Chain A
Amino acid sequence: MVKEKIKVENFNLYFKDKKVLNNINLSIFENKVTAIIGPSGCGKSTLIRSFNRMNDFYNAKVDGKIIFDGININDRNIDLSNLRTKIGMVFQKPNPFPFSIYDNVAFGLKVKGINDKSFIDEKVVKSLKDVWLYDEIKDRLFDSAMSLSGGQQQRLCIARALANDPEVLLLDEPTSALDPKSTQKIEELLEVLKKKLTIIIVTHNIAQAGRISDYTLFIYLGEIVEFGETKKMFTAPENKKTEEYITGIFG
């Protein structure tokens, strides 16, 4: 039985007067990977950034509901800091801070006000192990994160988000800047991570969505065209547009 983790109801989003997301209704299921696909500019990033209110910085106006843990995260007075630790995010371009590897992973804990050194140490090591980075870098924990390769940096960013013990992990085209080998490693990693958390991933790469996701959401011009189980959507899409996109006729 799948459990609903996030429910989106009649959600609209505007930048200035431009409607970027139109009447989104959607369920995100626990311990599943949901892929968001669609041609560029259709609103994938905007949608995934709606789950942790990252569009606030660009003065987005929203209406409708996004229910997470029983509360509507679009409410004015929710604790955004708390929301963003529960719903972590990884960005398109790896963006570790130009601090040490250790400080990157410990960052979220310190923001939370945790000072217990041994707790932080443990958590840093565990998070790095969770992304299979620990063995590669265990003797240079205090080197700059900038010395890592692109793929390692992206896994470090995942570790940095994991250190907050999120329930949901948002990834916006996390592998689009990486080589195939690093990409594969991250795909395998997500396969393991979904046992513990719920994953939403935007991807430009349709094959990737097919490989790693349980559910797929196809959006076009800010609207949901089709949403359903990946297996079904990739074998027998209901919508003509979906079929065209998946088979590469447009995009």
Chain B
Amino acid sequence: MRKFKEFSFEFFIYLSTLITIISLFIFLIPIFKNGYKGIFPEFLFTFPKNGMTEGGIFPAIVGTFYLTILSTFFSFPVGIITAIYLAEYGKPKFLVDMIRTSISTLSGIPSIIFGLFGLSFFVVRFSLEVSLLSGSLTLAILSLPIIIRSVEESLKSVPVTFKEAAYSLGCSKFETIYKVSIPVAFPNILTSLILSIGRVAGETAPIMFTAATLYSRRLPKSLSSEVMAIPYHIYGLVTEGVSPEKQIPIAYKSAFVLLLLVLIVNLSAIIIRQKLRRQRRW
């Protein structure tokens, strides 16, 4: 009986794993099959033409790049400092509770709501218009909970024995944090940050009303420019326009590019972590 239980338990573990892997492939195969042809170099480096029925996605790649980088510019400092506060100070209790409640609320909000919030707050209230700036700020808020949580986890996993050693050598609390906790947690912090970049790059809803434009023949010139972005471009290709037979293949190619970009980002995160971890094992 016990053997049977063990067997069926293992069976379900393998089954679930298999389902996960199969779903991944069912999801990836059509995109790869329909998307890989003729990507390099024209598709990557030319502008869209004739509505959206020909040409490449160069401005969308650039736009996604700008949006992502700019959003990290806002989200990293705030996220890292909040995480340090939660992990290392954690007092007074009411403030910590307030932050934690905010984080869990934020992380439960559907991304389209972030888009609407960005529209009413940044675009309208602060008159930032539909722009690179509005979109980045919206994305930054969306990514805050992920960043705070993962950086906090990284800091909390620093063994207390290292902190004790630092104090016993004359460090103040602040010195202990920036000379020991942060350097020790650095590989994990870096990985978390890079993973959050991958996450932000793929978001569509938050930029739909705040930053993105479907069709642009120029690259964004300033923070107040509208930008094209790969995920929104895909959305536009599939839902708008008059010649789906020409647009769908372009959508596949764009999806392929987006997936590739995210995979590259995530892979680099993993590689960096492995490399740094090997140097500092404990």
Contact = CB atoms under 8 A, between A and B. Distances in A.
Interface stretch (B108-116, B171-179, B202-210, B238-246): B171-179
B196 to A, nearest CB: 24
A81 B170 contact: yes
A6 interface: no
Contacts of B169: 84-85, 88, 107-108, 111, 160-161, 164
Contact of A146 (B165, B168, B180, B282): B282
Contact of B280 (A111, A146, A164): A146
A146 B281 CA distance: 6
B36 interface: no
B167 A112 contact: no
Interface in A41-89: 52, 54, 57, 81-82, 84-85, 88-89
B183 interface: yes
Contact of B167 (A54, A82, A93, A97): A54
Interface in B141-199: 159, 161-162, 164-172, 175, 179-180, 183-184
Nearest to B282: A98
Contacts, number: 67
A179 B248 CA distance: 69
A174 B101 CA distance: 43
B183 A99 contact: yes
A161 B280 contact: no
A157 B165 contact: yes
Interface residues of A, number: 27
A85 B281 contact: no
A95 B162 contact: yes
A57 B281 contact: no
Contact of B165 (A57, A82, A95): A95
A132 interface: no
B279 interface: yes
Nearest to A79: B170
Nearest to B163: A57
B168 A54 contact: yes
Contact of A98 (B166, B171, B172, B280): B280
A53 B166 CA distance: 13
Contacts of B165: 91, 95-97, 157, 160
Nearest to A146: B281
Interface of A: 52, 54, 57, 81-82, 84-85, 88-89, 91, 93, 95-99, 107-108, 110-112, 144, 146, 157, 160-161, 164
Interface of B: 159, 161-162, 164-172, 175, 179-180, 183-184, 279-282
Given A84-B167, A84-B170, A160-B169, 8 more contacts: A81-B172, A88-B168, A91-B164, A97-B162, A97-B166, A107-B166, A108-B170, A164-B169
